[in-house]
């Protein structure tokens, strides 16, 4: 949930439609988590938040050659299916793998100077 909030609040994607889809799914997921917290339908909120995380993984796969980064959306989809089908062990296993990949991405981004990450601001659609 925290990752979705941070991504939705700070995402820099040039295309405003793509940016809207990624950030909106994160915000919707967080709102659904608050609404569905006491139900067994929490997997729906996870699905929206994982769309946000998947969008960032796909975006960063163009910039970084992190092994497995393009598999993150598939892994997150399997995790949601595991929660929906009441198979939490599946979800935990694939989430650990996805977290390891995203953690390595975070490490690689941490090493990079910030001005390299933002790119050409003239291409940014407002």
Min mean pLDDT across 4-8, 76-80, 91-95, 115-119 is at 115-119
pLDDT at 49: 93
60-105 tens-digit pLDDT: 888 788 889 999 999 999 999 999 999 999 999 999 999 999 999 8
Asked whether the predicted pLDDT for residue 124 surpasses 60, the reply is no
Among candidate residues 76, 73, 4, 65, the one with its CA nearest the CA of residue 34? 4
pTM of the model: 0.82
User: Domain limits of the chain?
Assistant: 2-118
Among candidate residues 93, 89, 108, 88, the one with its CA nearest the CA of residue 42? 88
Rounded alpha-carbon distances, angstroms, from residue 120 to 14, 97, 98: 9, 33, 29
Average pLDDT (27-38) is 92
> For residues 50 and 25, what is the distance between their CA atoms, to the nearest angstrom?
8
> For residues 33 and 44, what is the distance between their CA atoms, to the nearest angstrom?
8
Q: Residues for the chain: how many in total?
A: 126
Residue 38 corresponds to which tokens in the numbers above? 């006491």
Residue 20 corresponds to which tokens in the numbers above? 């809207």
* pLDDT-derived band at 29, boundaries 50, 70, 90: very high
């Amino acid at each position: 949930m925290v990752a979705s909030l941070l991504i939705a609040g700070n995402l820099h994607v040039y295309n405003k439609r793509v940016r809207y889809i990624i950030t909106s799914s994160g915000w919707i997921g967080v709102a659904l988590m608050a609404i569905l917290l006491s139900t067994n339908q929490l997997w729906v909120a996870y699905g929206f938040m994982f769309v946000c995380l998947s969008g960032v993984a796909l975006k960063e796969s163009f910039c970084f050659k992190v092994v497995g980064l393009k598999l993150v959306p598939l892994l997150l989809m399997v995790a949601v299916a595991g929660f929906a089908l009441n198979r939490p062990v599946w979800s935990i296993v694939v989430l650990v793998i996805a977290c390891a990949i995203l953690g390595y991405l975070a490490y690689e981004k941490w090493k990079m100077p910030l001005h390299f990450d933002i790119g050409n601001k003239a291409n940014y659609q407002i």
